[in-house]
Amino acid sequence: MSKYDIIVLGSGPGGYVTAIRASQLGFKTAVIEKESLGGVCLNWGCIPTKALLKSAQVFEYLKHAEDYGLSVKDADKDFDAIVKRSRGVADGMSKGVQFLMKKNKIDVIEGFGKLKTGKKVEVEGKEYSADHIIIATGARSRELPSLKQDGKKVIGYREAMTLKEQPKKMIVVGSGAIGVEFAYFYNSMGTDVTIVEFLPNVVPVEDEDVSKQLEKSFKKSGIKIMTSSEVTKVDTSGEGVVATVKTAKGEETLEADIILSAIGIKSNIENIGLEDVGIAVDRDKILVNNYYQTNIPGYYAIGDVTPGQALAHVASAEGILCVEKIAGQHVEALDYGNIPGCTYASPEIASVGMTEKQALEKGFDIKVGKFPFSASGKASASGAKDGFVKVIFDAKYGEWLGCHMIGAGVTDMIAEAVLGRKLETTGHEVLKAVHPHPTMSEAVMEAVAAAYGEVIHL
């Protein structure tokens, strides 16, 4: 039996990052992976979808070249080549993780791992033991009883990025990050897209102003949006699919080639031995303390299988914190109120902290500032005037309660707010920090100035 200090079950952005940090701290480390190093994020999620979205963005530029004083004739897309490029990017990233495993002297054990009592894991009939076992098995596309995925006409995100042919019509059920990103991609390729969202607003976790702006931008792009609506039945017996949609006005019938189910994720916790070991689970999530220890000593869990936000950067941060605690370092529990969320459609969305509604519900007396990109010189020059930056401050102490952005490149801007909140900055400090001109990031300073009645360019 092979013996390790730490075994990580799963090699996604939680698992492989955890393994690398463990190795850096001097632990003899192994990672177990049943499919491809990098997990869903690198192979079927974050990275290949961004490659698809970049192709969509470039195609959009070509279609609107005249807006920039350029002439491009007969611009067209090769759907198969776009998909192949995306897969190539994913493969390259997975090979990069393989290199990192070798560089950090981490053993990669291929196969499906099952937890055993006594701090052991069985893989393909062989047992491995460790002082510490970290579960990082991630999640997959969730299914509804009324929306069973067959991988052909009713698909999840995995099939959505490798379709052999571009559909003429597509229904996207769910308007979280996955749903709106694929809606944007397929719409930009020329597919007729309809989004069906159960809640009253698209991207429902975002500030309501952001939701309204995205709906406005999407409708302008030709995407149809049905909110407060639910797909109750799907008929796949014909050539395409027929969806019955329950709306506030009654039932409607939608026809399409394909339905993309983007209604959330399901944790991968089945058949990995949790019951055998006695690890506590509640509603699809493994219960852990602030340092990701389960109720059974020596077993830990991070990432999508735990109750925190199901985001790649959260899983990575949790894994690093987990092994640093094991190593005896002084670590602070992760602040889940300061986790940025990003959506990479066009316009992009980025946010951190409380929405305006949440701040008011918590009883804060607030100052709210909003600066539209239509008033930004850089945005005008770039031809990307849709969207805004919105900031929320506590009126009494100047604490930065929340920041919400929608527009071009905002996913690269949100870190300013995350860092500012981490360092407990105040509105006046942000306002007096000189921002470069002309940049999109000036909008952060201008939004803060608007909150304090000092805005210059609006």
* Residue 197, marked binder: yes
Q: Rounded to the nearest 10 degrees, how much is the dihedral formed by the CA atoms of 256, 259, 263, 269?
A: 170
User: Binding site annotation covers 222?
Assistant: no
For residue 95, how many other CB atoms are within 10 A of its CB? Answer: 14
CA distances from 19 to 241, 331, 448 (A): 44, 18, 40
CA quadruple 197, 191, 342, 290: dihedral, nearest 10: 60
C-alpha torsion sign, points 166, 59, 183, 304: positive
Check whether 113 is labelled as a binding-site residue: yes
Please state, in angstroms and rounded to a whole number, the distance separating the CA atoms of residues 101 and 18: 11
Residue 43: CA atoms inside 13 Å, Cβ hemisphere, count? 16
- Residues with Cβ within 8 Å of 101's Cβ and at least 6 positions away in sequence, in order, are 16, 19, 31, 37, 108
Is 437 an annotated catalytic residue?
yes
Give CA–CA dist 201/209, Å, rounded.
10
Q: Does 398 count as an annotated binding residue? A: no
Q: Among positive and negative, which fits the CA dihedral 419, 421, 422, 428?
A: positive
φ/ψ (deg, to 5) at 235 = -110, 115
> By CB neighbour count within 10 A (0-12 exposed, 13-18 middle, 19+ buried), where does 167 fall?
buried
CA distance 370 to 449: 9
**Cα–Cα distances in angstroms (integers) from residue 378 to residues 217, 289, 418, 443, 456, in the given order:** 19, 45, 23, 10, 16
User: 315: annotated binding-site residue?
Assistant: no
Q: How many residues are given for the chain? A: 458
Identify residue 454 by its one-letter amino acid code: E
Out of 64, 428, 437, 457, the active site residue is: 437
CA gyration radius, the chain? 23
Is 180 within any annotated ligand binding site? Answer: yes
Find tokens 């929405």 and name the residue. 355
305 is in an annotated binding site: no
Annotated binding residue 178: yes
Coil, helix or strand at residue 49:
helix
Please classify residue 104 by burial: count the beta carbons closer than 10 Å to its beta carbon, then call 0-12 exposed, 13-18 middle and 19+ buried: middle
Q: Which residues are catalytic?
A: 437
* Annotation: binding site for FAD: 50, 113, 304
Bind-site residues for NAD(+): 174-181, 197, 264
